Structure 1
Amino acid sequence: MEIIIGLIIFYVIYQFIKGFSGKGKATDKNEVTLRVEVSGPGDYSSSYNRSSRPGGPPAKWYGPSMSVKVKDYDIPGGLVYVGSNLPDNYGYENDACLIDPSLKVSAAEPWEAGDQMGYWPKFHNIPAKSRGAYLKWLVGGRSEPEAYIGYVFLFFYGLERRLIVDGAKGKVSSQERSAIVNEVRRLLKIYGGNRSFSGYANNFLAMEWALYQSDNPAPSYIDFDDRYCTEPFQLVLAKHVADGKPIPADMALQWYRLNPNMSLRTPARRCAKEFKYLFTRRYQTKFGEGIIVKPNKTRLKIDYRAASPSIRGDMKLKVPDLPNPFILTGPINKINEIIDECTQELDPYSRFLGRKGSDPKSLTALSLIPKELIAQSSGAKTIRDRLSRICQDGIGFLPLETLYKTIGQKPPVKLLKKELESLASFIDSMGYGIAPDIRYHNMKPTIDGSVTVFPKGHGMDFMPSKEFRTVATILRLGAMVSQIDKDLAPEEETILQSLISDNRELTSIEKDSLTAFLHWCIHTPQNAVGLKSRLSEVSETEKSAISHILITVAHADGEIKPEEIKQLEKLYTTLGLDKEQVTGDIHALAANSGPVTVGLKDEDASYAIPQPAKPLGTSMGFVLNEELIRIRKEETKQVKSVLEDIFAEQEEKEAEEPLAGATVSSNPLSLLDTAHQRLFNSLLEKETWERAAFQETCKSLGLMVDGAMEVLNEWAFENANAPLIDDGEPIYVDVSLAKEIVDVQ
């Protein structure tokens, strides 16, 4: 008898263990399988009361075309579970989404009583007034824009359970899945401004595709750039690699964004559109169609991170047998090289946008964007067409104010160096150049003056030679003389042009630039302001060379008029020469039948001798290029240095904040109190912070999150003209900027 009783007990125990171990198995091996392991912050099992397991008949799911009445609330459109028995994944209490009609409800509006709910609300344990507000939101078609976001999540929990849990058992048709997807997309349009809901909802949509439609291309509404979509993206990447396809630029960037060990720096986030375009171009230039990744041996496993506390945990989903390239470091390192390059190029533009009151459409902002991006910006084609019309005859000459209007900008009140550099840089990006260009011609126009515009421009990496700068100064001196009688002779312009065209040391870009500069010089009144002070220490040989340049240009038309002589005397006086010497130099020019020597014998020719446009008469003893030929090579360096400097403009002292960063004190942290200093030092640890972790760090220091962010961002603006922290989910910290401010290597 005892043996029989023992066998019966053994059998009962066996059946119990067998039944328990079989719980949760999918009925279809081709569908999703779940394995739930709850630990850490998501461990709710310890708080469950095992005696409160739900009982009674199973709850009912109301599909998308159904309606249900709860208390006095008529809920249209279905998509909810209603009843008293719907165990969660742990089997100890009802699912958070279950609407239990037996529970007490108090009337409220959808925007009320939200603060009385917990972080992971459950219908059965929220206050009666919160239940009333939730039911009122459901009755209103789930569309009230001011509704508390917790009510949206309560509803969303039910959609998660239906798709993930019931779907794993084959209970959800494709039509119903489509209705659920459309509902989530509709909710995103209304409540997508909430970062948390947006993330969970996007992950839900991506996971629906991954589990049920992954044989088809991913639909456009799935945002794989979202970190919440990391798991579904791994399936996309795995299929791509398994098929032997190259990784395109957009997928490579998504891979980098979603990699837990990588983080985009501030310029890439603040200038997201520009960064993506720049990365795509750089990536395609280096890898063509993309990187080819060899399938690895590690197999793919993906989880679903649920918003609902009732199915929250480590939920392993069954996916096709595929490699898991997402964990590989080699391809990520290749991508990272391009990421760093693009980030550095966008850093000046990002810093500018980070400054208070900065205008992203301003000329200063546009001049800081990489040129290839400006060329692709909206309106660039219109501007290029306008500049093309201006230069239809070669070199265009127009008022500076008109040029600003041509590019859609307002002229500045005062022309400072920075404004002119921005203008010149922008015109260059359009494939044209301007003269004078303050960066190269050592000159600047006036706000009511004119400029020249010429095709092709200076290019991206133009570095003017000393020869360029020397010739530019000679051109201005020559233009100054040619303007004395207010009647520019063609011969005068020709001899100055020959200095450019016959010079073997100038590049084609330099010649184009100097030709445009000459055009500006001879059509714009020149003056000798500042000449005397800059020539006070010039040697007599150098002064003589410059004086011969002036005489040569004045005599280019074969005649030197009295008013020209008078002006030449003034220029000689400015040079520190005796004005009576003008007459002697003119007679010497006319009397000599051969070239006039400057007293230097070495004929190391650096200039080709131009042919005059017309005979200058047998009395003309030298021409400009011949004079320069006779300057010895060593002394040429000195003379060129003088010529380069005599027209150097005295820069205004601009009391403006530096663009790339301000000079900081030896100890900028001293401007912060102790608590904020400690917070700053903590933030140096990493760039990406989950909001909960950031909040905990602030709390430990006795700081409020919003206030701490404001203080540190204001401090960063004062020291580097850029914010330190980008608020969001997650929170980003510009660690490189922080280290720059405090000079940490």
Structure 2
Amino acid sequence: MGRRKGGSAAGMGLLIVLGLIFAALSAVYRFIVENLAAITGFGTVVGLLLILWYLFSKLEGQKSSVAERPLATQQPQIQLLSQRGYVEPLVQFGSRARSAGTSGQTRWVAPTETIIVQGVSVAGGMFYLGTALSFEGREIDEYVVNPELSAKSSRPDVEGTSMPYWPSYAEVAPAARRAFLEWMSTGRRAKPYGIGHVFLYFYGLEHRVFADRDVGNVPALIAEVDQLLRVYGDNGSFHGYATHFLDLARCAAGLPLPVPEPSADTAYAAEMGTAVRLHLGRRLAQSAAILSEDALIWVLALPDVYLRTAAVRCFDKFVPLWHLRFRSRFPEGLRVATSGNIDLSYRAASGAFEVPVDGPHRDYPDVTKVKTSLEPLRQLVQECTDELDGFSRLLGRRPEARNSVQAALLLPEDLLAETVFEAVREFGQRLSEIMGGKQLASTKMDTVLRLANFELPDSGKLSPAVADQLGQVLDRLDIAIEPDRRYGGGVPQPQDQVFLFNAPGGGPVDSERPAYRSMKAQVEVAVLAAAADGEASGEEIQRVIAGIKEGVDLGGVERARLISFAITIFNSPPKQARVLKRLADRSPAERATIAKAAVAIVVGDGTVQPDEVRFLEKLHKALGLPKEQLYSELHKAVPRSDEPVAISIEQRQAGIPIPKEAPVPTPDAVVRIRIDAERLARAQRETAEVSELLANIFEEETPPPVETVAAVANASAFEGLDQSHTELVELIELKGAVPKLEFEERARAMKLLAEGALERINDWAFERFDEALLEDGDEIVMAPHLRERLSELRETA
């Protein structure tokens, strides 16, 4: 029942729709019948208008076609502007002799022509105009400018964003064509235009050279591509294709290729460049051995060789280092064998064709067909790069340090000797001025650091690494420095005294050689012994120098280092505990020699103080020697007096024994000893010979005579003061002030009157500084601001 009611409703709806349609059709019919005349007139008018529009458009097309017909069939509509200054009729495509690679509807536009395409005037030619090119039975229209294709656009695609990777004039959008024609009309060098427009033009040039084989015009086409490369060479893709074009175009025309130059900017390429192949092939045709220069060109052109950062950043050092290492490893060159000669073919960047290239290169061996292993060359690149790592890291942190002395330290020694490093040369000149042409000079460490343009540490403390770096630079200048940590010395701090002297290679010595090691220990102990009583005199340093001179089995450089070492530690004595601790591992013979040298220094001035005896006791304990031996040595070293010993007023009594000999000195006793005249004379003669020591000290290493240098111990540091007055000045300089009683005792010891010495020193100071150096009173005080002036005088001396 329900279904019967639904069916009746659907039928009723259908009847209603059909009725409405019938009524509408009836109304339309009645309208047409009633207005038939008017409708017929309106249709006639519309038809006439459509016919007229069609005829007008056909007429416009015929005019355009006529404008592009050969001049033989119509009057010229466009004229060609010749580069020679006169006007000649425009020769349209198809009217000239065609090359083998052009079709009947396409021609090559010469550089002297001007063509109007789609309303754009293009001068300079050098492109194909028409519909398509025919090459080996195929039609090519990718780089043919077809004047029938639309190039109308209100917004030309200047950047070429609508162009595909391989652009085709026949397929790109009108906006891209418009931009291409405008680029051609503006001289083809405008940078804002995208690289797609450049490639579209380039495709035609390569077709002209390699497909049409227009040999006569190849130089002009090479020049054009070379100019394009200068403008658009920053594009990697175009750079590669244009470079390949230039190389093979020159081969095709028989023109020489430029000789390749090693470069750190060699771009990655899947295969070796043509210029490199031809250059190396020509070399191998002359000789089977490749030399250093050509080997570097070869290895840098290998597709699987990449230069690391150190080689790229320091390429100016990498190249000479390569030559040094290659010539050392292959003194007669690297002999090379190949399996064939060079075959070249040109594959167009457009992908439209590939053709073989003929030329004399066919007679050259091809290094891409090498049978000799190139692994030694690859390994040599890595080794040279590794040697420059330190230099490269410094430049990475401090680019301005490229030509600094510290940078020079990080280069291999033979490379530094091979190349002129300006900073090192200037440092050597400044040192020569300091040394004044002498064999030896004394100055402060910070002075040497400043001459080398080393950065002084902010902490004020010099690190061992910086001291070693300075020593390495001096080695290359054939100058030795002492103290030198590398040869057993300490690290001199900025205000410490150092000695510089000429010595080949920086005067290297074996600091562990027994003779040198033993003498150095004797010098250290002798200095401690001399300073045990609180002061060290010039006579004591003279005795130490004389001992070094008499040392057995010592070379000239070793003596120079030991003398310089002795003077520096006399000025700044080492820590007693540190020195004594190092003596424990000495051999029995060395320990005995060291102890004997210390005793000789103590007794050399004719007196033995309690502090000196205590020091000798500590020394013997550190050396593992008995104290009895010390007292015995002191007894032997003390000369007997030739005069009677006054005991007391004689009062003869029975049974009173004869006085015994004077007892051996004890730590708390002060022994006054009369100096043996003969022995003193001998010591003075030995001291006088020291002045000749430094002049002759390099006799073994340097045969030519050198200017004699005054002995350091005998020469006064302050010109105008003798040695005795100089020692008084240095005593007060060291302490700043001394009690007047001590000053008087020291003056008497030097056989000077205290007041006279004070006056003499101040007179000298007035001549130098226009003021007194020492102030008299309960203490003798040195003017603080003049102490630096004394240091300058000492350096100058």
What range describes the TM-score normalised by the shorter chain of this pair?
Answer: 0.5 to 0.7
Q: Does 1:94 align with 2:136?
A: no
Q: 2:600 corresponds to which letter in structure 1?
A: T
Query: Paired residue for 1:301, among 343, 356, 360?
Result: 343
Partner of 2:682: 615
Distance 1:446 1:227, change over 3 A: same
More displaced 10-residue stretch of structure 1: 436-445 or 358-367: 358-367
- Residue 441 of structure 1 and its aligned partner are, at CA, apart by 2.7
Query: Paired residue for 2:290, among 218, 231, 247?
Result: 247
Q: Does 1:373 align with 2:422?
A: no
More displaced 10-residue stretch of structure 1: 127-136 or 386-395: 127-136
Partner of 1:183: 227
Q: Tell me if structure 2 keeps the 8 A contact 1:438–1:444.
A: yes
| Runs of 5+ consecutive residues of structure 2 not aligned to the other structure | 1-100, 642-678, 686-797
Partner of 1:419: 466
1:198-213 alignment, distance < 5 Å: 198-213=239-254
1:333-359 CA-partner distances (Å, limit 9, x unpaired): 554564454344334445666679996
* Structure of greater relative contact order (alpha carbons < 8 Å, 6+ residues apart): 1
Q: Tell me if structure 2 keeps the 8 A contact 1:59–1:84.
A: no
- Counterpart CA distance in 2 for 1:538 and 1:221 is 58
Q: Tell me if structure 1 keeps the 8 A contact 2:277–2:366.
A: yes
- Residue 419 of structure 1 and its aligned partner are, at CA, apart by 2.5
| Runs of 5+ consecutive residues of structure 1 not aligned to the other structure | 1-52, 594-611, 619-745
Query: Paired residue for 1:321, among 355, 360, 363?
Result: 363
Q: 1:346 corresponds to which letter in structure 2?
A: L
Q: Tell me if structure 2 keeps the 8 A contact 1:568–1:582.
A: no
Partner of 1:57: 105
What SS does the corresponding residue of 1:299 show, helix, strand or coil?
Answer: coil
Q: Tell me if structure 2 keeps the 8 A contact 1:500–1:514.
A: no
Q: Tell me if structure 2 keeps the 8 A contact 1:283–1:338.
A: yes
Q: Does 1:284 align with 2:327?
A: yes
Distance 1:402 1:291, change over 3 A: same
Q: Tell me if structure 1 keeps the 8 A contact 2:222–2:249.
A: no
- Counterpart CA distance in 1 for 2:614 and 2:106 is 111
Q: Tell me if structure 2 keeps the 8 A contact 1:441–1:472.
A: no
1:313-462 alignment, distance < 5 Å: 319-330=361-372, 332-333=374-375, 335-336=377-378, 338-350=380-392, 360=402, 365-375=407-417, 376-379=419-422, 380-391=424-435, 392-414=437-459, 415-456=462-503, 458=505
Distance 1:390 1:616, change over 3 A: same
- Residue 251 of structure 1 and its aligned partner are, at CA, apart by 0.7
What SS does the corresponding residue of 2:442 show, helix, strand or coil?
Answer: strand
Partner of 2:259: 218
- Counterpart CA distance in 2 for 1:84 and 1:91 is 13
- Counterpart CA distance in 1 for 2:482 and 2:120 is 76
Superposition TM-score, scaled by structure 2 size = 0.55
What SS does the corresponding residue of 1:251 show, helix, strand or coil?
Answer: helix
- Residue 370 of structure 1 and its aligned partner are, at CA, apart by 0.9
- Counterpart CA distance in 2 for 1:314 and 1:286 is 42
Partner of 2:19: none
- Residue 301 of structure 1 and its aligned partner are, at CA, apart by 1.6
Query: Paired residue for 2:600, among 540, 544, 552?
Result: 552
More displaced 10-residue stretch of structure 1: 355-364 or 261-270: 355-364
- Counterpart CA distance in 2 for 1:163 and 1:116 is 29
Distance 1:196 1:269, change over 3 A: farther
Q: Does 1:274 align with 2:317?
A: yes
- Counterpart CA distance in 2 for 1:146 and 1:209 is 30
- Counterpart CA distance in 2 for 1:533 and 1:585 is 19
Partner of 1:258: 301
Q: Tell me if structure 2 keeps the 8 A contact 1:299–1:321.
A: yes
- Counterpart CA distance in 1 for 2:113 and 2:530 is 92
- Counterpart CA distance in 1 for 2:173 and 2:162 is 7
Partner of 1:691: none
- Residue 277 of structure 1 and its aligned partner are, at CA, apart by 0.8
- Counterpart CA distance in 2 for 1:402 and 1:103 is 81
- Residue 280 of structure 1 and its aligned partner are, at CA, apart by 0.9
Q: Tell me if structure 1 keeps the 8 A contact 2:479–2:507.
A: no
What SS does the corresponding residue of 1:434 show, helix, strand or coil?
Answer: strand
- Counterpart CA distance in 1 for 2:545 and 2:146 is 91
Distance 1:71 1:494, change over 3 A: farther
Q: Does 1:85 align with 2:132?
A: yes
1:659-678 alignment, distance < 5 Å: none
Q: 2:452 corresponds to which letter in structure 1?
A: I
What SS does the corresponding residue of 1:206 show, helix, strand or coil?
Answer: helix
- Counterpart CA distance in 1 for 2:265 and 2:190 is 28
Distance 1:268 1:288, change over 3 A: same
Q: Tell me if structure 1 keeps the 8 A contact 2:130–2:145.
A: yes
Partner of 1:589: 637
Q: Tell me if structure 1 keeps the 8 A contact 2:115–2:122.
A: yes
Q: Report sequence identity in percent.
A: 23
- Counterpart CA distance in 2 for 1:546 and 1:160 is 90
Distance 1:216 1:223, change over 3 A: farther
Q: Tell me if structure 2 keeps the 8 A contact 1:225–1:254.
A: no
More displaced 10-residue stretch of structure 1: 117-126 or 276-285: 117-126
Q: Tell me if structure 1 keeps the 8 A contact 2:523–2:566.
A: yes
Distance 1:178 1:56, change over 3 A: closer
- Counterpart CA distance in 2 for 1:154 and 1:592 is 114
Distance 1:516 1:87, change over 3 A: farther
- Counterpart CA distance in 1 for 2:575 and 2:263 is 67
- Residue 104 of structure 1 and its aligned partner are, at CA, apart by 2.7
- Counterpart CA distance in 2 for 1:501 and 1:57 is 107
- Residue 613 of structure 1 and its aligned partner are, at CA, apart by 11
Partner of 1:702: none
What SS does the corresponding residue of 1:172 show, helix, strand or coil?
Answer: helix
Partner of 2:793: none
1:610-689 alignment, distance < 5 Å: 615-616=682-683
- Counterpart CA distance in 1 for 2:550 and 2:618 is 32
1:213-248 CA-partner distances (Å, limit 9, x unpaired): 566773879999666552332222222122237533
Partner of 2:151: 104
What SS does the corresponding residue of 1:218 show, helix, strand or coil?
Answer: coil
Distance 1:363 1:480, change over 3 A: farther
More displaced 10-residue stretch of structure 1: 420-429 or 120-129: 120-129
- Counterpart CA distance in 2 for 1:315 and 1:102 is 34
Q: Tell me if structure 2 keeps the 8 A contact 1:472–1:514.
A: yes
- Counterpart CA distance in 2 for 1:567 and 1:89 is 110
Q: 2:447 corresponds to which letter in structure 1?
A: T
Q: Does 1:499 align with 2:541?
A: no
